[in-house]
Amino acid sequence: MSVESSRTRLQQSIKVLMLKWDKANAYWDDKVSRDFKETVLDPLEPKIRVTMEAMEEMSGLLQRLKRECE
> What are the pLDDT digits (tens) for 21-66?
999 999 999 999 999 999 999 999 999 999 999 999 999 999 999 8
Q: Give the span between the Cα atoms of 17 and 37, in whole angstroms.
A: 12
pTM: predicted TM-score of the whole model, two decimal places: 0.79
At 52 the pLDDT is: 93
State residue 4's pLDDT score. Answer: 87
Q: How far is CA 46 from CA 24, 31, 40, in A?
A: 22, 23, 12
Q: How many domains does the chain have?
A: 1
- The residue segments making up the domain with residue 9 are 3-69
How far apart CA 24 and CA 22 sit, in angstroms, is: 6
Q: What are the CA-CA distances from residue 33 to residues 21, 22, 23, 30, 41 (Å)?
A: 10, 11, 12, 5, 10
Name the band, by pLDDT with cuts 50, 70 and 90, for residue 11.
very high
